[in-house]
Amino acid sequence: MCRSTYSPYIILLCITLIQVPNFATSLSNAFQERDRVALQAFKLMITQDPEGVLNSWNDSRHFCDWEGITCSPRHRRVTVLDLQSKGLIGSLSPQIGNLSFLREIHLSNNTIQGKIPGEIGRLFRLEAVYLSHNSLVGEIPGNLSYCSRLIGLYLGYNKLEGSIPSEFVSLYNLKELAIHVNNLTGGIPHFLGNITSLEAISLAYNSLGGNIPSSLGQLKELSLLDSVETTSAVQSLPPFTIFPCLLIFLFLRINFMEVFLQV
């Protein structure tokens, strides 16, 4: 009697167990398809590809085997996009925000034009963004602050404008902020002193102006602060006593700076 009472549940359980893997598989396929569509959209926005690296981005192979793509072994989702120094000319598709497993973007030393799409803020697994040595314009999207796992942001040598977004105060894992050689304005914000994870900040060759805020003295991990040519800031440098662990590099020659800031 007991048996017959429970059997419907057992049957139901069996059906569920059979169906769950199928459901999971089709869900996984749907997410993979989303990655594939996003990568195709990325490719469409690249107008010149002198080395033909994106030729391998065709449907004869799974996108995990395309050049510059690394996937997670289990879910087969894109985790790394690495097309550094490929001579690419084009702009960034907002669809990059659909690559929801993305942890690293390596696109330094190309000719990426246009703005950094705000959709990048949807990539909550993002840890490193290498976009230096490109032709990016517009403002640094404050939306990057949603990428709370972000450790390194490298945007040097572009044409970025506006100020350092105040939303960045919530980037509590950020260790390296490299935004040198742009057209940034609006001063060195006080709140940088609240991002206690910061180890290196490079701001040189912008039009930031203003002073180096004394709040930066709170950054116990900071070992590189490069703000050469923010002349007034250098003049107003607070006494060294408030920077207990800080070594200030004042690079006088841009060649010398390059050694440190090539990333």
Ligand X SMILES: *[C@@H]1O[C@H](CO)[C@@H](O)[C@H](O)[C@H]1NC(C)=O
Nearer to ligand X, 45 or 237 (CB): 45
Strand partners, 226: 202
Tallying the residues shown for the chain, one arrives at 263
Nearer to ligand X, 146 or 243 (CB): 146
Shortest distance in whole angstroms from residue 121 CB to ligand X:
3
Shortest distance in whole angstroms from residue 68 CB to ligand X:
12
Q: Could you say which DSSP state residue 205 is in?
A: S
Helices H / strands E in the chain, number of each: 3, 12
Nearer to ligand X, 22 or 60 (CB): 60
Shortest distance in whole angstroms from residue 170 CB to ligand X:
12
Shortest distance in whole angstroms from residue 231 CB to ligand X:
28
Interface positions with ligand X (CB under 6 A): 34, 37, 55-56, 58, 60-61, 85, 87, 94-95, 97-98, 109, 118-119, 121-122, 143, 146
Nearer to ligand X, 95 or 206 (CB): 95
Scored b (16 or more CB within 10 A) or e, 227-257 reads bbbbeebeeebeeeeebeebebbebeeeeeb
**Virtual torsion, Cα 151, 145, 80, 73, nearest 10 deg:** 90
